[in-house]
A and B are shown apart, each in its own frame.
Chain A
Amino acid sequence: MLTYFEFIQEYLPALLKGTVVTLEQTALGILVAVLVAVIMAFMKMAPFFAIRWFGIAYIEVFRGTSLLVQMYWIFFVLPLFGFTLDKFTAGFLAVGLNLGAYGAELVRGGIQAVPRGQYEAAVALGFSPFTRMRRIIFPQALLKMLPPWGNLLIELLKATALVALISVTDLMFMSKQINSTTFMSAQAFGTALIIYYIIARLIVTPGMRGLENRLSRKLSIG
């Protein structure tokens, strides 16, 4: 039996390799989620019934079923319709599409929380609807929704662990593999848990707080 120190020496490189994949999945997942969230939020607020309906359906379907089911569907069923995705793409795409549906509600809530007077002032000043959204409403909404987005990004980081189940070689996958060759379960899974925790608390949370500070400073000055 190896001591924990020897275990780390032997297997940390493999776990770190997995961590890099997890970070890649997280970053790409965030990109998809933000895009989907903004698009679906605006669709759900659209004045046309058909567009609004599509937004609502998307959000309800992706929030109403499991991410794991969605991921398997994208990976195993979409090829039957002629869209074959490699596992890496299917992984972050499923994560992003799923968390994006949750994000859409945050975006919508943020925009609707901007006081009515801000709209009226922008109309009175003769801004076009697009400028009004881009320069007046959205920046204020963004500041309001950053804290819940911080929580959502941690959910997204955690959700990427599921890509291991379609054999993307992320941190979760590596720890599972180390467990099955060494039977040192506490060490393998425990170390992976700690790495996830470090990413969440030392990268995601401070990063979001920094973003919030920068935005609030920018809004109060300019």
Chain B
Amino acid sequence: MFDWKWDFTIEILPRLLDATINTLIAAGLGYLIALIVGLIFALAQRTPLRSVTFIVRELVEFVRSTPLVLQIFFVFYVGPQIGIRLSPWTAGMIAIGLHYASYLSEVYRAGLDSVPKGQWEACSALNLSVRRTYAKIIIPQAIPTVIPGFGNYLIGIFKDTPLLSVIGVMELFHAANSIGAETYRFLEPYTLVGLIFLVISLPTAMFIRRFEDWVRGALGMKKLYAKD
């Protein structure tokens, strides 16, 4: 095909696959941060303190409506200005973690809101503790609602990791850029990067749909994707 060089492809493939591991670590770590901080954001919006709710709400809106790449630059460059030196990895993880935390907080919120009010009322009528209410009644019912959201953002964070290359995180896209700069060949590295992304994200999406059906089945709900 056109100018495609197979020996060059074979030569750069190991280097790209090595960098893919970094991409996966970045996505996983960022997602972990997002899961925890997102839960905090979501719960903070359910406290009786109006001012806390308001501040967190506005913060989430702000983070959600501004570009991630700009936030990455902001975190990376503003640190040194106030005397905190962050490595590219730390700054990147903070930025991408916070960005997706604000998305995930909305998923948590939608999940908790999707449980009918009667369930909460039944729990207080039965005098269940707050802990048992959440652990045994509310969260199990909220899970099927939130799986697609969590799954989409997992794939989303994976696809946003190339942005970390702008501050020098050595992930997949960064590796492709270096190869391009060294060899002046762009066709193979960028095409391979695209293919690697596809090969990971498509099966993940399929797995998430399967998983959703499995959970729905386990909870005795109607399956969405299975044909049987």
Q: What is A's interface to B at a CB cutoff of 8 Å?
A: 60-61, 64-70, 72-73, 76-77, 80-81, 154, 157-162, 164-165, 172, 175-176, 179, 183-186, 189-190, 192-193, 196-197, 200-201
Contacts and interface: CB of A to CB of B under 8 A. Distances in A.
Contacts of A164: 69
A65 B81 CA distance: 35
18 contacts: A61-B194, A64-B159, A65-B159, A69-B162, A69-B193, A76-B180, A158-B65, A162-B69, A162-B163, A165-B69, A165-B166, A175-B73, A179-B73, A185-B81, A186-B78, A192-B70, A196-B65, A196-B66
Main secondary structure of the interface of B (DSSP, over half): helix
Contacts, number: 112
Main secondary structure of the interface of A (DSSP, over half): helix
B194 A179 contact: no
Given A69-B197, A193-B74, A172 B186 contact: no
B71 interface: yes
Given A73-B191, A77-B191, A185-B78, A65 B69 contact: no
Given A60-B202, A77-B191, A176 B197 contact: no
B194 A70 contact: yes
Given A60-B202, A77-B186, A200 B65 contact: yes
Nearest to A190: B74
* Most A CB within 10 A of own CB, among B62, B70, B190, B197: B70
A70 B197 CA distance: 11
A93 to B, nearest CB: 16
B67 A158 contact: yes
B6 interface: no
A29 to B, nearest CB: 13
Given A179-B73, A185-B74, A65 B194 contact: yes
B68 interface: yes
